[in-house]
Chains A and B, each alone.
Chain A
Amino acid sequence: MNTRSIIRKIVIILFWIGIWAAAAEVMQKSLLLPSPVSVFVRIFELLLIRDFWKITLLSLVRISLGILAAIILGIVLASVTHYSNLLKELLSPVLTVVKVTPVASFIILALIWIGRDNVPIVISGLMVLPVVWNNVSAGLRNIDSTLMEMADIYCIPRHIRYKRIVLPSVMPYFLSAIQTSIGIGWKAGIAAEVLTVPVLSIGKMIYESKMYMETTDLFAWTLVVICISLLIETILMKFVKKLGQKYNSEVSAHD
């Protein structure tokens, strides 16, 4: 990104903050719409509190755990259902159910079954699982069969086949799943925290600010969620780009 585009982005952000400030000025009701200055001051205050870092880190760890578990499970399920028709038929209704069930129903059920502290882990994982499962399955289905035939003829060992044919074929699908699902997983995890209020969580802070009508706090915590979301996306894009370059030029083309 060059200086010109950075300046452009800053100006755009300032423009929208300006609109927000003007709207707050016109309304004159901080309970409905606090001014950007008061929100930024509140964020600054939060940054100085030790619990802020603890809360943010715990939410991040909790949700990341769910996402990571879903990625691993998604890859495993896609692999076993690819190689076993019986398992595919057996497990495909599970995928359908996960895809079509409203997230709120899952939150309530998880709350009853596993207790509030683990709900965000499960919910963020449930958002990521079908996407990874679906995409990796599609990647496995689309492996060029003529290349696999060639590998059979030349007796290419299994581990080289995986490294040179299977992995690079599946990688674009997997990376695309990661790109689309992690943001959703993060936001669903926060939503689950709001509904289940685990101790020391961003969701609980958002819930409490709503309870006590602390709109400034609500905005501040929401901004924190947005900033973390953007941070995750930036790191993820770098990771995806790097992996794409490592495996093949085709991956970069798919990006």
Chain B
Amino acid sequence: MIELKNVTVKFGSASVLENFALTVSNGEHTALMGPSGSGKTTVLKLIAGQLKPCSGQVKVGAEKISYMFQEPRLIPWLTAEENVNLVLGDSPATLPLAQEWLRRVGLAGAEHKYSSELSGGMRQRVALARALAYNGDLFLFDEPLSSLDKTLADEMLVLIKRYTKGKTVVFVTHSFEQAKQVADSIYVLKK
């Protein structure tokens, strides 16, 4: 269960969120939409505990969070499989599982590549594989399919739905189509 009550976040004098409220029940899939700068990523950061609100309450009932950031945040000196394996315990025994996740996101053959050798879309899929492999109680996706073409984005959306079934999800996107496919409820944030 996620509950944000009367949350206000300010960066300097600029107010990003003001008296913002959001409730997501356990197992519910929620999409956040809105123009750039409306505070979607800020909401995810609040939920992940990376940001403290200036005022208001943030309650998150999850032990393990799978967060797919807006940028892939891959470790450049690790290969794709090592990046995924990192969240699985970084042991040789879990490497086949990391490889399996890469195969699921369509990256079979790219296991030994470094992020500098991958395209933007491939990096995003490695980050997706990492988030899904971690298998949190709560999934936070920040525009997870923004670098993918429509066909690939649809395939990844199917994957996200399959592996987050029964889990709480907050999905940030600019695409209404994606929000519709993934979410039980959609919030639209205004600037």
Given A154-B134, A164-B78, A250-B76, is A146 in contact with B90 using a C-beta cutoff of 8 Å?
no
Given A153-B48, A154-B134, A155-B64, is A147 in contact with B90 using a C-beta cutoff of 8 Å?
no
Contact yes or no, B76 A154, CB < 8 A: no
Q: Which residues of A contact B71 (CB under 8 A)?
A: 146
Instruction: Please tell me if B69 contacts chain A, counting CB pairs below 8 Å.
Output: yes
Contact yes or no, B76 A153, CB < 8 A: no
Nearest-neighbour CB distance to chain A for B144, whole angstroms, equals 15
Closest to A159 in B: B90
Q: Which residues of B contact A89 (CB under 8 A)?
A: none
Nearest-neighbour CB distance to chain A for B155, whole angstroms, equals 24
Instruction: Please tell me if B73 contacts chain A, counting CB pairs below 8 Å.
Output: yes
Contact yes or no, A156 B77, CB < 8 A: no
Instruction: Please tell me if A209 contacts chain B, counting CB pairs below 8 Å.
Output: no
Contact yes or no, A150 B73, CB < 8 A: yes
Interface string of B137-166 (1 = CB under 8 A from A): 000000000000000000000000000000
Instruction: Please tell me if B50 contacts chain A, counting CB pairs below 8 Å.
Output: yes
Contact yes or no, A147 B73, CB < 8 A: yes
Contact yes or no, B87 A154, CB < 8 A: yes
Instruction: A165 to B66: give the CA distance in the assembly, Å.
Output: 19
Instruction: Please tell me if A179 contacts chain B, counting CB pairs below 8 Å.
Output: no
Interface size of A by CB at 8 A reads 19
Q: Which residues of A contact B90 (CB under 8 A)?
A: 156, 160, 163-164
Contact yes or no, B67 A250, CB < 8 A: no
Nearest-neighbour CB distance to chain A for B128, whole angstroms, equals 14
Instruction: Please tell me if B75 contacts chain A, counting CB pairs below 8 Å.
Output: yes
Instruction: A164 to B134: give the CA distance in the assembly, Å.
Output: 17
Cβ < 8 Å to A, chain B residues 94-135? 114, 130, 134
Closest to B48 in A: A153
Instruction: Please tell me if A96 contacts chain B, counting CB pairs below 8 Å.
Output: no
Instruction: Please tell me if A2 contacts chain B, counting CB pairs below 8 Å.
Output: no
Q: Which residues of B contact A164 (CB under 8 A)?
A: 75, 78, 82, 86, 90
Instruction: Please tell me if A222 contacts chain B, counting CB pairs below 8 Å.
Output: no
Contact yes or no, A149 B86, CB < 8 A: no
Instruction: Please tell me if B16 contacts chain A, counting CB pairs below 8 Å.
Output: no
Q: Which residues of A contact B69 (CB under 8 A)?
A: 146, 150
Which of A149, A154, A168 counts the most B-chain CB atoms under 10 A from its CB? A154
Contact yes or no, A149 B50, CB < 8 A: yes
Q: Which residues of B contact A165 (CB under 8 A)?
A: 75
Nearest-neighbour CB distance to chain A for B58, whole angstroms, equals 16
Instruction: Please tell me if B65 contacts chain A, counting CB pairs below 8 Å.
Output: yes
Which of B71, B75, B77, B78 counts the most A-chain CB atoms under 10 A from its CB? B77
**CB within 8 Å of A: which residues of B?**
48, 50, 64-67, 69, 71, 73, 75-78, 82, 86-87, 90, 114, 130, 134
**CB within 8 Å of B: which residues of A?**
146-147, 149-150, 152-156, 160, 163-165, 168, 247-251
5 contacts between A and B (CB under 8 A): A146-B73, A149-B73, A153-B50, A164-B86, A168-B75
The 4 closest A-B CB pairs, nearest first, are A248-B77, A150-B73, A154-B87, A153-B67
